[in-house]
Homo-oligomer: A and B are copies of this chain.
Amino acid sequence: MLNSQTTDSNYLLPPMKFCSECAHPVSLQVPQDDNRMRYVCSNCGSIHYQNPKMVIGSVPVWEKDGELRVLLCKRAIEPQYGYWTLPAGFMENDETTGDAARRETLEEAGARIELHELFSLLNVPHVHQVHLFYRATLLDLDYAAGIESLEVGLFTEAEIPWDEIAFPTVEITLRAFFADIRKIRQEGGQFSLHTQDIFKSMRAGLAPK
C-alpha cells in the first residue's frame, strides 16, 4: 500500500465526530429499519455506514531446478515494522481484486507477476478486515524494495523467517501454500482455496512454536 491506512488497529468502530455532509456533530444510534449502531446526523439525516475493508496480496513464486521460492517483503512501516510479509495492502476503489494484488506486488516488491487463482480468504473481524491472497508466478527477477519495504527477497520454505512474519494471515497463507505443494507433488491434485477466521490479535503469534 502507498497510503497510511493501517493493516492493524485497536478500534472497534472508527470514530466519527462530525457529519461529512453538513459538519453537524453526529451521534451513535440505531436508525429506523436498521438493527445496528451507526453514526447518524440529526441535522441532515445522513447515516454514515462503516464496513469491512479488503487487504489483498499475492504469493509470488519463482521456481528453479524444481525448488520453489516465495518473495517476501521486510516492512518499512508500522504496524510490524521490520517483520516480513507477503506483498499486500488495501484494495482501492475502481479496481478489481486481481488489479489490487498486482498493484500491491509492484508497489511493495517492485515485482511483476502472472496472477493465478485465489488461494486464501481470511477473516479478521475484530479489525474489520478480510485478507485475500492470490497465487502468482514472478515474471522476472528484477524486483526491488518499494518505499514501504526495507528489503525484498526470495525464500525457500526452510529459509522463511517464520518467527518474524508480520501477520497471522501471512503465516497461514504461506504454511498452506507449502503444504499444498507437498501434497500435490506426492499425491497429485491441485491447489484449493484456504479459508479461516482469525479472532485474536493480529500481532499475537499464531500458536506455541
Using CB atoms and an 8 Å cutoff, list the residues of chain A in contact with chain B. Answer: 2-5, 12-13, 16-23, 26, 31, 33-36, 38, 47-54, 90-99, 117-118, 121, 123, 125-126, 128, 130, 147, 193, 195, 197
Contacts and interface: CB of A to CB of B under 8 A. Distances in A.
Counted per complex, copies of this chain come to 2
A121 B56 CA distance: 14
The DSSP consensus for interface residues of chain A is loop
Contacts of A126: 94
B35 A93 contact: no
B96 A12 contact: no
A63 B96 CA distance: 35
A175 to B, nearest CB: 20
Nearest to A20: B16
Given A20-B16, A96-B123, A193-B118, A34 B2 contact: yes
13 contacts: A2-B33, A3-B31, A3-B36, A3-B49, A4-B31, A5-B49, A12-B93, A18-B19, A20-B48, A51-B90, A51-B91, A54-B54, A97-B130
